[in-house]
Amino acid sequence: MHSLITDNFTTKAAQEKFSKIGISHGIDLLLHFPLRYEDETHLYPIDSLSEGTIIQIEGIIIRNTVMYRPKRQLVLKIKDDSGSIFVRFINFYSSQIKTYAVGKRLRLLGEVRLGVFGAEMVHPKCRVVREGELLPDLLTPVYPTTAGLSQRTIRKLIQKILICSDWEHNLPEILPKEILKNYQLQGLKESVMFLHQPSPNTATQSLHERTHPAWQRIKFDELLAQQLSMRLHYQQRRSHTAPALPAKNKLTKALLESLSFSLTRAQKEAFSEISKDLSAAYPMQRLLQGDVGSGKTIVATLAALQAIENGYQVAIMVPTEILAEQHYQKLSGWLEPIFLSLGMTIVCLFGNQKKSQRKAALIAIAKGNAMLSIGTHALFQEQAEFNNLGLAIIDEQHRFGVNQRLALRAKSAKINLTPHQLAMSATPIPRTLAMSYYADLDVSVINELPPGRTQITTKLFSNTRREEVISRIKEACDEGKQAYWVCPLIEESETLQLRTALETYATLSLIFTNLRIGIVHGRLPSQEKLAVMELFRQGDIQLLIATTVIEVGVDVPNASIMVIEHAERMGLSQLHQLRGRIGRGIDASICILLYQKPLSITAKERLKIIFENTNGFEIARHDLRLRGPGEFLGARQSGETMLRFADTERDENLLNNACDAAEKILCNDPDLAKNHIRRWLKGKGEYLQV
Ligand code: ADP
Ligand code: MG
């Protein structure tokens, strides 16, 4: 295929710009589809315009003034046979005042708005024309671009390539006829040609909403590439070797017998799936998904014991120090009696640990007497060398970046075996995402909560009713209950967030003079952070002022009240996670969401959703609808979404078809699968390996 490099059409500078938007070959250009289209094929009479439409008009400039109020701006008045309209430029060059002189004929394309003086266009696309100047006969595509690369340049280059491409050679139809027929797909060349230069009679809505058959074909291809790549990774993983860690039912049985509770049906099922995976000689890559408080930790601990009873080490990686410490305590409580007689130890790695302690832990990990280690990712990444890591457990996996997860896996390269991996998350995956972005993972779901949990009542209070909230907290704490007071999230600045937390602490200390109050935030030295959490756990602190550091994993069953300030600033999953810190004990729990008016539409919607739902799955479904998959997937996609055109929610039908087709293709023609992936994904599939 022609490379842009040898194409004398562009300069070197332009080539660099193109590569910035992922284009280095002609084929990339062909598959660089417009974001939208502008209809410059018609001129509309000015008096026919309605507000909010984007439309092209032409007329004579009858007024040209620079106004200074409310802001310096250039205002034109344009007139055609039917009426007149104002045009405003808030930013303009002085040369424009001359270019748009009274009497000139101007052709404009822009959105019609209702301004102070009547109908107006602000910063339309416009140029001076001669009377009768020809109109284009195709819709004008608008492409994704980058600074310094004009639409004109992209358009010209794409036009050129459309004309001189040897399609058979460069972009042949590789999908078999039956597939095209089965799923009613239009030809590839036809679709590509059409999307770059659609005729003006096309229903523009079908172009914008991407329901047109040409778009359907492109989206299908893209989804198919994603499916194929996921499945190939899945297969490839099975070709790696992992230590086989079959169930021996010794340590696991001992733990189960020592627990004060028995596992729920869902926990048992999840563990049996994990247990089976561990016994295979290829690496498990399983996601254990269960709502906040569903009891994932004990399942993970059982998995750890199965590895340990086979003589392999286990690492548990968590996103925060508070969580590392909490797991360390909990797991020590469960496991020390079992480990003690066997001479095994558990170690914990966290930030401000004493040097000597850290060193001892690292040695124990390297030598292999520390069978279980718990810590934050940073520490594992930088310092730990395992003797024989058999299983890596990643708690709250949605909080980790891709590279952090890859790094832990690489830790065991020494023994030439890939460790098994168990990821845990409370963020449920809606069906379409599970089918698409997560198709390479096996998933176990804990879909019930342990018995005896109390419902959490959620209340919404405007900030004006703060007093009322304060007196409720006072009463509850006087009755011996414990509460969290969560400070507002301030995204722009961590310093500001800290300041707010300290201020809240100061104010509340003055109000609740007879309560024992503590504060925990991200900047507190680790030891202090842990000490505060410990005091709270033991009931010595009654009211804990906290930033969102307590968002994940924290488990203090006696705490039954939570106040969240500025709840309108928080995302759905964050609110759900935070609220999940309560409702863990025997006391009826209450979560008070304080909000500040005015509320944006989405904020209002979020608060309504969190108020009405306690089921994490429902909340996640709403979240996906509100935010789209890019946000939802977070770190997993490392910013670059694999799907540029398709939308798994809206294109569920195509996704189903692509799933079907992928299965057939992999079975019948693996080479075709690889070609198709190469065409559509270039390097993007790599991120799937984690
Ligand atoms: P999460 O899934 O959010 O990580 P945890 O593992 O922290 O939840 O469990 C929440 C609490 O429930 C813990 O205190 C845990 O000991 C307890 N728990 C777990 N499983 C059961 C069970 N089957 N019966 C009763 N309590 C349980
Ligand atoms: Mg947890």
pLDDT tens sequence across 271-308? 999 999 999 999 998 999 988 888 999 999 999 999 99
Q: Same structural domain for residues 111 and 161?
A: no
Strands of the 113-115 sheet, one edge to the other: 113-115, 118-122, 84-89, 73-79, 54-67, 105-111, 125-128
Q: Same structural domain for residues 523 and 385?
A: no
Q: Which residue has the tokens 């952090």?
A: 404
| 663 within a domain of the structure (yes/no) | no
- Asked which of 157, 178, 209 is the last residue of a domain, the reply is 209
Ligand 1 atom closest to the Cα of residue 296 is 2
- Residue 572 CA to ligand 1 centre (angstroms): 22
- Give the mean pLDDT of the chain: 86
At 76, which CATH number?
2.40.50.140
**Could you give the CA distance from residue 45 to residue 277 in angstroms, rounded to a whole number?**
69
Highest-confidence segment of 199-208, 307-316, 491-500, 626-635: 307-316
| 669 within a domain of the structure (yes/no) | no
- Residue 298 CA to ligand 2 centre (angstroms): 9
- Asked which of 425, 446, 467 is the last residue of a domain, the reply is 446
| pLDDT band with cut points at 50, 70 and 90 for residue 684 | low
| pLDDT band with cut points at 50, 70 and 90 for residue 688 | very low
Looking at the chain, the number of H-run helices and the number of E-run strands are 25, 22
Q: Which domain holds residue 91?
A: 42-135
Q: Rounded to the nearest 5 degrees, what angle is found at the Cα of 23, between the Cα atoms of 17 and 29?
A: 120
**Could you give the CA distance from residue 561 to residue 485 in angstroms, rounded to a whole number?**
8
List, for residues 414-454, the tens digit of each pLDDT value.
Answer: 557 889 999 998 877 777 777 777 777 888 999 888 887 77
- Check: CB of residue 364 under 8 Å from CB of residue 391: no
Q: Same structural domain for residues 476 and 416?
A: no
Residue nearest to atom 22 of ligand 1 (CA): 450
Q: Same structural domain for residues 50 and 145?
A: no
Residue nearest to atom 24 of ligand 1 (CA): 450
| 624 within a domain of the structure (yes/no) | no
For ligand 1, is residue 648 a contact (CB within 6 Å)?
Answer: no
- Residue 306 CA to ligand 1 centre (angstroms): 19
Q: Same structural domain for residues 395 and 347?
A: yes
Burial of 442 (0-12, 13-18, 19+ CB in 10 A): middle
For ligand 1, is residue 384 a contact (CB within 6 Å)?
Answer: no
Single out the residue of 195, 191, 223, 192 nearest to residue 208, CA to CA: 195
Q: Same structural domain for residues 567 and 424?
A: no
Q: Same structural domain for residues 100 and 59?
A: yes
| 670 within a domain of the structure (yes/no) | no
Give the pLDDT score at 6: 45
- Check: CB of residue 408 under 8 Å from CB of residue 348: no
Q: Same structural domain for residues 280 and 360?
A: yes
| 679 within a domain of the structure (yes/no) | no
Q: Same structural domain for residues 389 and 433?
A: yes
At 542, which CATH number?
3.40.50.300
Q: Same structural domain for residues 575 and 602?
A: yes
Q: Same structural domain for residues 422 and 469?
A: no
Give the pLDDT score at 590: 94
Write phi, then psi, for 88 (nearest 5 degrees).
Answer: -120, 140
| 314 within a domain of the structure (yes/no) | yes
For ligand 1, is residue 566 a contact (CB within 6 Å)?
Answer: no
Calculate helix-pair angle for 526-537, 321-340, nearest 10 degrees: 70
- Residue 294 CA to ligand 1 centre (angstroms): 6
β-partners of residue 381 are none
- Asked which of 566, 582, 613 is the last residue of a domain, the reply is 613
Q: Which residue has the tokens 């036809």?
A: 190
Print burial letters for 382-420: b (CB count within 10 Å at least 16), e (below 16): eebebbebbbbbbbbbbbbebebbebbbebbeeeebbbb
Q: Total structural domains in the chain?
A: 4
**Could you give the CA distance from residue 260 to residue 610 in angstroms, rounded to a whole number?**
32
pLDDT tops 80 at residue 636: no
- Check: CB of residue 595 under 8 Å from CB of residue 458: no
Q: Same structural domain for residues 386 and 300?
A: yes
| 461 within a domain of the structure (yes/no) | yes
70 compared with 328, residue with greater pLDDT: 328
| 682 within a domain of the structure (yes/no) | no
pLDDT tops 70 at residue 569: yes
* Mean pLDDT, residues 644-665: 89
